[in-house]
Chains A and B, each alone.
Chain A
Amino acid sequence: GAVVSQHPSRVICKSGTSVKIECRSLDFQATTMFWYRQFPKQSLMLMATSNEGSKATYEQGVEKDKFLINHASLTLSTLTVTSAHPEDSSFYICSARGVGETTFGSGTRLTVV
């Protein structure tokens, strides 16, 4: 089946620094990738949708200058949290869609201290 690899699985960073999260589709080409944020005991909230080679489409209320998304190839998308603050601490999950179903990565637990 389709596999999506997300790294790192867990990261701790200091306030003010930037963190990059990678999402790779290992055995299929992902024309579209999605980035979600999940707070404890809450649903997945879509942050942005990215298509290969074009700018990401951000959901209302998501700061595009803070959450930089790059989808440079059909197998890789990155989310960079810039100038991280403690309130950015959350579980970030990517998903990738190719020809078939949408497959999720294993998530990244970000803690900003």
Chain B
Amino acid sequence: QKEVEQDPGPLSVPEGAIVSLNCTYSNSAFQYFMWYRQYSRKGPELLMYTYSSGNKEDGRFTAQVDKSSKYISLFIRDSQPSDSATYLCAMSAGEKLTFGTGTRLTIIP
């Protein structure tokens, strides 16, 4: 079993829709949870960073962490074509990041 599981998609939704991306994990030591956006042939860009359980909102993006269920989510409201990218969840207990496989998202105009 992988430490971090993420549905690779692909996921296609119409512009303006709410997008829900999710990851599950097995390592209860993870304390730091991140979502990265990666455009084709580029490095990942940090979108959201959350410590322990709870919600965090930044503009159209909301990150949720439920440590009891070992489940994290990223919601994108009013999705735009420019949101089309691969979204990777990542988490760590300290220094090293463990990544999910990434979900490829396409927003259809």
Q: Which of A38-46, A60-68, A72-80 forms contacts with chain B?
A: A38-46
Distance of B40 from chain A, by nearest CB (Å) = 10
Residue B49 contacts which of A46, A101, A107 (CB distance < 8 angstroms)? A101
Q: A32-B95, A49-B95, A101-B49 are in contact. Are A43 and B100 (CB under 8 A)?
A: yes
- The reply to whether A44 and B88 contact each other, CB–CB distance below 8 Å, is yes
**Residues of A contacting B44 in the complex (Cβ-Cβ under 8 angstroms):** 44, 93, 104
Number of chain A residues whose Cβ lies closer than 8 Å to a Cβ of chain B: 22
CB distance from A33 to the nearest CB of B (A): 11
Closest 8 interchain pairs by CB? A104-B43, A43-B99, A43-B101, A106-B43, A44-B99, A107-B43, A104-B44, A105-B43
Chain A interface residues toward B at CB < 8 A: 4, 6, 32, 34, 41-44, 46, 49, 91, 93, 95, 97, 101-107, 109
